[in-house]
Amino acid sequence: MTARVVLGVGGGIAAYKACELLRLFTESGHRVRVVPTASALRFVGAPTWAALSGQPVADEVWADVHEVPHVRLGKEADLVVVAPATADLLAKAAHGLADDLLTNTLLTARCPVVLAPAMHTEMWEHPATVANVALLRSRGVLVIEPDSGRLTGADTGKGRLPEPAAIFAFARRALARGPVVPDLAGRHVVVTAGGTREPLDPVRFLGNRSSGKQGYAFAATAAARGARVTLVSANPTLPTPAGVDLVTVGTTEELRKATIEAAAGADVVVMAAAPADFRPAAYAPQKIKKVPGAVPEPIALTTNPDIAAELGERKPPGQVLVVFAAETATTRDAVASARDKLARKKADLVVLNEVGADKVFGSDANTATVLGADGSETVFPEQPKEDLADAVWDLVTTRLTTTS
């Protein structure tokens, strides 16, 4: 799908990263008009933006007045993305100020608007900025949570612009959903992802084939729908989605502790991780040696805690719990087993997947049957994992509406 994208650039040092974001949009076939602020042009000049976009560049409303750009750009855009969005720009957008071409464009846009803030931690956490972000989100503007990391100079903290690839992925989901009110705005969502590893000795572990892709898809799509997302990821190898707070764990017990802590005040918990059902009963502090000709000692296993069941027992009123059931065949017996799991975990939804060495794990697509505690059964054909996640979120939001 070719879209008309307005890429706004605020006056921060992270403006240089917008060049890479622009490249991602143009190489995907989108027509991009860059609208920098006057301050942004002190970091990256207009010739650079014009050369990379193939479009004229202006920062104030007096250029090409006959084309009425301060109205036309916003009205014609399919998507507006501002990266970086400074504290000053967030304040202007929140209060409807329009003193240059970019702020006029934000006022006239009727398409999805994505703002990617970048500033020092103190500025991001200031009550004025917090209030401005809340106001923008209440109006349906998608404000991405900034990353934590190295800032200007020697400072480190939250306020770093997410990587261009992460912003692009976020914007792509917003573009796919269209100009709708983010239905998870104001909600806190916890998603678990990946496979846990249970150590046997310093070099070996008991694990599984989970790549974490489906869980990451749930996190990314929830953020694009306006949620505050905590992603508890076991042994992550995937890039963190933009606007998502990442908590890294290794073992099932670590996953349990982190998830229970995060879920305490959450509106939704999605247990997409694959925690190991068992762990070695004893850990060998030294590498277990292979003895030529000898039969290795059997490995005794013990059962890991059932995280989903514990969450079901702790589930506060109004919280929606989504669990997963991985089966090697989606027969009616598997459906019956998944429905039994739904009841035992006291969950609201269970996502039934057919899994195997060449199915689901590591792939970009998935099929699923989603069973509800209300007796519903919804079958989803093979589709990209992000699309499946969006479809499940549709089922979740219905339950949030009825339980809140």
Distance CA 6, CA 73 (A): 7
Residue 240 DSSP code: P
Q: Is 308 helix (H, G, I), strand (E, B) or coil?
A: helix
Q: Which amino acid is at 10?
A: G
End-to-end CA distance of the chain: 37
Residue 67 DSSP code: G
Query: How many CB atoms sit inside 10 A of residue 322's CB?
Result: 24
The DSSP bridge partners found for residue 195 are: 274
- Given the residues 104, 132, 208, 353, select the one marked as catalytic: 208
Q: Which amino acid is at 26?
A: T
Distance CA 107, CA 226 (A): 20
Residue 389: closest CA among 216, 263, 269, 179: 216
The DSSP-derived string for 291-302 is PTTPPPPP--EE
Active-site residue, 208 included: yes
The DSSP bridge partners found for residue 34 are: 7
Residues labelled catalytic: 208
